[in-house]
Structure 1
Amino acid sequence: MAHGNFSTLVNSEKLTFVDFSAEWCGPCKTMAPILEDLKSRIGDKARIIKIDIDRNPQAAAAYQVQSVPTLMLFKNGNVVWRQSGVVPAHFLQQVINEHA
């Protein structure tokens, strides 16, 4: 996903959940099934996108992503929630519901 695309997505009114990850990151692989689960729980409330920090260094730098996975929730271009590390789907669902 190109950086321009990324800006368009996070600046939309629709909640956008972003998983900053990397191929070499073990915990990031753990997040994959969690995000699948989350997707089935939230339906259309938010879109979920994955950003590979090695392929999109500008996006990672723009949001000072120091470690992966870093999870962020965007609403109208603003980061409304952010956390690093593996987070369970039910918790992420709660966060999305609070901002929906």
Structure 2
Amino acid sequence: METHKDIKQKIEATLNSADSIEEVEISPFFKENALRQMFSEKEKEPFVLWSWLTPQVQLAALILIVAINVFTMMQLRNEYYDDEISNFADSYGLTVDASESLMN
């Protein structure tokens, strides 16, 4: 029976200790400030390495590459191209005569 009395005394002491707890005063805008801080982190975008590569820059780069390719193709179709290559090969001894070939 004494354990039963001890339990009652402990329960009474616990309930009496709750009366001694003082009310905590907080700022009336605490909830708003806390929510603003929580959601402001989600609004920030991380740094992106390729952020400067916008569609406009991509289009300009594509047009430049196509223009360079067209210019190169026009130069390759030049009528003097074969003559210039032959002269270059002769100058540096890069031509192979049919008689020098090992496949004959």
TM range (shorter): under 0.3
Choose between structure 1 and 2 for higher RCO, CA contacts under 8 A separated by at least 6 residues. Answer: 1
- Larger fraction in strand: 1
TM-score (ref. length: structure 2): 0.17
Specify the structure having the higher radius of gyration (Cα).
2
